């Protein structure tokens, strides 16, 4: 390694230190990871974040019935489920947007202190559904579900219909961020970025905002009007490592 290039590495390392040390710390979004290599390459980690309001709500709910006769329990469950689905279709819900996740029939026992034994106390019939609707209509749908005999709303998850597009936009921002970092390091030197040796994209994280179970189930106990539902904000975060070549 010649003296000029060695001096350059020392200088660039100092520049990297100054860049990192002068950046205020506001969490992971502002973390910079730069590394100068001996083969005239610079490794940079870029981050891109896209924030959007969700437009899709996925509602996970169930119907739960009990009867001493297992066949009667299933018959009552079928009647209530069919009535519920008919109400949903009449409200404009597409059949393709409602899906049965599971159907369960199980015995119910209680402990009899007198006989010191478990005694059969009937059967529990349960059907789980997931329904996809717009965030705007989700409050109306939740009220309809509870007024149609739904016993429990297990979960409400919010998403975006154009999620793939948002992921690509986040990757573009991450790539721009990586290049800006590399250019900032080389800006006071005679070297310029001449190419890219490699790009490694980390798995893109998309935490889905959810309503807490205890909040909306307590709210649903006395639903007499459309339940207000706010989807919050979806954050799509992309992170990638780029190895730039400089000359």
Q: What are the pLDDT digits (tens) for 65-101? A: 999 999 999 999 999 999 999 999 998 999 999 999 9
Assess whether pLDDT exceeds 60 at residue 247: yes
Q: Which secondary structure element, helix H or strand E, spans residue 124, and what is its range?
A: strand 117-134
Confidence (pLDDT) at 67: 96
Confidence (pLDDT) at 114: 87
Strand order in the sheet with 33-36: 33-36, 41-52, 234-246, 193-201
Assess whether pLDDT exceeds 50 at residue 219: no
Mapped to the 3 state alphabet, what secondary structure does 26-56 carry?
Answer: CCHHHCCEEEECCCCEEEEEEEEEEEECCCE
Q: Which of 218, 224, 72 is nearest to 152 (CA)?
A: 218
Confidence (pLDDT) at 116: 87
Assess whether pLDDT exceeds 60 at residue 39: yes
1.10.150, 1.20.950, 3.30.110, 3.40.50: which CATH number matches 3-51+163-207+236-246? 3.30.110
Give the pLDDT band (50/70/90) at residue 55: very high
Q: What does the domain layout of the chain look like in residue ranges? A: 3-51+163-207+236-246, 56-159
Residue with tokens 């948002």: 166
The CATH superfamily label for domain 56-159 reads Protein of unknown function (DUF541), domain 2 (3.30.70.2970)
Confidence (pLDDT) at 32: 55
Can you give the pTM of this predicted structure?
Answer: 0.69
Assess whether pLDDT exceeds 70 at residue 15: no
Query: How many Å apart are CA 209 and CA 54, to the nearest integer?
Result: 9
212 burial (CB, 10 Å; 0-12 / 13-18 / 19+) is: exposed
The token duo for 210 is 């959810």
């Amino acid at each position: 390694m010649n003296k000029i290039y060695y001096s350059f590495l020392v200088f660039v390392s100092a520049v990297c230190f100054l860049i990192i040390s002068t950046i205020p710390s506001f969490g992971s979004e502002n973390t910079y990871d730069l590394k100068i290599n001996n083969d005239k390459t610079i490794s940079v980690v870029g981050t891109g974040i896209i924030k959007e309001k969700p437009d899709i709500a996925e509602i996970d709910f169930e119907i739960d019935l009990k009867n001493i006769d297992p066949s009667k329990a299933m018959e009552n469950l079928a009647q209530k489920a069919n009535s519920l689905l008919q109400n949903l279709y009449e409200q404009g819900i597409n059949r393709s947007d409602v899906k049965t996740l599971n159907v369960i029939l199980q015995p119910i026992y209680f402990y009899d202190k007198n006989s010191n034994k478990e005694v059969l106390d009937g059967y529990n019939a349960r059907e789980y559904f997931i329904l996809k609707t717009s965030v705007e209509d989700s409050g109306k749908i939740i009220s309809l579900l509870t007024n149609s005999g739904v016993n429990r709303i297990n979960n409400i998850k919010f998403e975006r219909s154009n999620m793939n597009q948002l992921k690509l936009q986040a990757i573009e921002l991450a790539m721009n961020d990586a290049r800006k970092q590399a250019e900032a390091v080389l800006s006071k030197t005679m070297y310029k970025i001449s190419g890219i040796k490699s790009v490694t994209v980390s798995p893109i994280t998309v935490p889905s905002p959810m309503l807490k179970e205890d909040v909306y189930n307590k709210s649903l106990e006395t639903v007499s009007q459309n339940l207000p539902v706010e989807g919050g904000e979806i954050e799509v975060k992309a992170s990638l490592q780029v190895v730039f070549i400089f000359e």
